[in-house]
Amino acid sequence: MLCQLSIKNIALIDAMTIELTEGLNVLTGETGAGKSIVIDSMNLALGERADRELIRAGQERASVEALFDISGSPAIPPILEENGVETDGSQLIVSRVLTSAGRNIVRINGSLVPLSLLRQITAQLVDVHGQHEHQYLMDEGRHLGFLDGFAHKELAAPREKVRELYQQMHTLKLRLRGISEGTQERAQRLDMLTYQVQEIAQAKLRAGEEEELTEQRELIRNAERILKALAQCSAYLDGYDDMPACTDSIRQSVSLLGGIAGYGAQFEQLEEQLRDIYYTLEDVAMQIHVQADKMDFDPSMADAVETRLDEIKSLKRKYGNSIEDVLRYQQDAEKEIAQLSRQERDSSQLDKKFMKLEKELYEACVELHERRLQAAQRFSAAVVKQLCDLGMAKARLHVDFAALPAFDQAGNFYTANGLDRVRFMISTNAGEPLKPLSRTASGGELSRIMLAFKAIAADRDDVGTMVFDEIDTGISGHMAQVVGEKMAAIGRARQVICVTHLAQIAALGHSHHLVEKTEEDGRSITRVHTLTSQERVQELARMVGGAMQTEATLSHAREMLLLAARARDGELL
């Protein structure tokens, strides 16, 4: 329940606090006095869109603060605690500050909170019916929402099931669409990767092969020079013509040194050193012969080496700077081929899963539809009863359901709310056929029908406060009395805040607040004043007779208040 609303520097308001009571709170005042500013301020406290134009001219900031009694709202404290907001479970203080610089500061019980949390909380505390909300009845796209709101408890589980299945199917559909849209590109990519892997695999590359081939090519290119050098070395070492072999000379020297080795250690050491040199030269001579034999190249070998190096160069140009890079590319390509192939298999599996989900969703939609059909009968009966109380005793209301599409035709009609499309059909007078509400009801009838919906909601919702901003549009006379009594009846179980121009409704308020606009120091100022009993008489007399108050209008106002008190006590309702 909203207990107190404090407003500062919003539009024509400097600063004021409105104390609101249980039951029916009415706000009245001359046209242009600022009643809409009060409702705008209340909407700010509830989390509605903020407009810097609301800040009073000449001020840098505006603020609104609302105090709620949440002792009857057990669902609120757990939400607050979950979001780190301290609460004693009995009171909730909401504050909102707007600055000319565009800042929007929201606090709950002193803690800074996001605007989304404020809306989540206040949606469970206050239901606002604005001046033009009854026009929603003209929009058949909203009719399903009214029905679901009426039966929200019994429809909660099947609606949630439909919503979850719809979301799963929607997500899966997007995945399948992505796979489908990439089918051609994936096939092209798969063909290209397969060709590349085969090309690299057929080359049978080895790490280090290019270096070996490069070295071999240098040997082939310089074979003549190498053979000539090796031949000369062999001649020097092995001897030629009349020149003795180098190794023979050293061998003979070793023998001579061996003959004198016994005469001193120095001779023995020289003999050992020269013997080592002899063995080394002998080994080198043998290796030179081996290398010379290897240089006996087949002429076709040079072409084979060049061809292989060209092949490696071509692969490097396509796939990397080295053989290692090319082989790494091959491995990466093989992994991508496996992934692309798996996507095709996944697509087939996803298709099967999608068909299963769609079947489950359709069955859930049918179940929800059947539950709604049952709820629609209770909804129609409840609305008709309320309309009877509101002076439309002959009214009939029917919830018209469009036929559900067959399973194989439902694909484009699924929504998170199921497959149902409904519209309200109404007959407001005896003997008249049912016709679409959007094309038949008058302004006054729409106001009463919306009030009937709100009265039903008051019986079923846990919302503690209901706000009606000029719901008296299009009604007058006796019907105004009926509407007022209905709101007073709602006020027995809920707090009701009502902005009205009709004295019949104002008289029924448990408390009466007058919105006035005055001029001080050349500036217009709006204030809200809670009326005393005598002041209520004067305000009702003004509403009935205008500015000219007579004893007759004052007497009439007193009589209205007396009858209203009896009506609030249930004697006349």
For residue range 31-53, list pLDDT tens digits in order: 888 888 898 899 999 998 888 88
Whole-number pLDDT of residue 297: 66
From the centroid of its chain, how far is CA 390? Answer: 43
Interstrand relation of 511-520 and 24-28 (parallel, antiparallel or unpaired): parallel
Query: What single string gives the DSSP state of each residue in 48-80?
Result: PPP-GGGBPTT-SEEEEEEEEE-TT-TTHHHHH
Asked if the structure places residue 357 within a domain, the reply is no
Is residue 450 predicted with pLDDT exceeding 90?
no
Amino acid letter for position 392: M
Cα separation values, 237 from 243, 247, 250, 277, 321, Å: 10, 6, 10, 13, 46
In a domain, residue 563? The reply is no
Flag whether 256 is in a domain: yes
Q: Out of 405-409, 507-511, 563-567, which region has the weakest mean confidence (pLDDT)? A: 563-567
Q: What is the pLDDT of residue 468?
A: 87
Residue 81: how many other CB atoms lie within 10 Å: 12
Task: Report the chain's mean pLDDT, rounded to a whole number.
Answer: 86
Helix (H, G, I), strand (E, B) or coil at 392: coil
* Measured distance CA(236)–CA(232) in Å, rounded: 6
- Domain range for 259 is 188-335
Q: Is the pLDDT of residue 230 over 90?
A: no
Structure tokens of 268? 């023995």
With beta carbons less than 8 A apart as the criterion, state whether 78 and 34 touch. Answer: no
pLDDT at 420: 95
Task: Give the residue, 226 or 78, on which the prediction is more confident.
Answer: 78
Distance between the two ends of the chain, CA-based, in angstroms?
Answer: 24
Q: Lowest-confidence range among 163-172, 317-326, 545-554, 556-565? A: 545-554
Q: Which two tokens stand for residue 147?
A: 């029905």
Q: Is 216 within the bounds of a domain? A: yes
Q: Which residue has the higher pLDDT, 569 or 67?
A: 67
Highest mean predicted confidence (pLDDT) among 32-36, 427-431, 526-530, 545-549: 526-530
Whole-angstrom distance, CA of residue 517 vs CA of residue 413: 53
Place of tokens 């005793």: 393
Burial class (CB in 10 A: 0-12, 13-18, 19+), 433: exposed
Mean pLDDT of 54-82: 90
Average pLDDT of the segment spanning 269-287: 88
Between β-strands 422-427 and 435-436, what pairing exists: parallel, antiparallel or unpaired? antiparallel
> Could you tell me if residue 78 is inside a domain?
no
Q: Which of 108, 90, 103 is nearest to 46 (CA)?
A: 108
The upper half-sphere exposure of residue 332, i.e. CA atoms within 13 Å in the direction of its Cβ, equals: 8
List, for residues 233-261, the tens digit of each pLDDT value. 887 777 776 777 777 888 888 888 888 88
What does the pLDDT average to over 353-382?
94
User: How much is the pLDDT for 397?
Assistant: 93
| Mean of pLDDT values over 550-556 | 88
* Single-letter residue type at 479: M
Residue 6, classified by CB atoms within 10 Å of its CB into exposed (0-12), middle (13-18) or buried (19+), is middle
Q: Does residue 377 sit within a domain?
A: no
Residue 164 placed within a domain? no
Question: How far lies 543's CA from each of 553, 557, 561, in Å?
Answer: 9, 9, 13
What is residue 572's predicted lDDT score, i.e. its pLDDT? 44
Q: How many domains does the chain have?
A: 1
| Residue 494, C-beta contacts closer than 8 angstroms, at least 6 positions apart | 458, 463, 464, 465, 466
Tell me the residue type at 81.
E
Q: Judge whether 198 lies within some domain.
A: yes
- Contact status, residue 295 vs residue 227, Cβ threshold 8 Å: yes
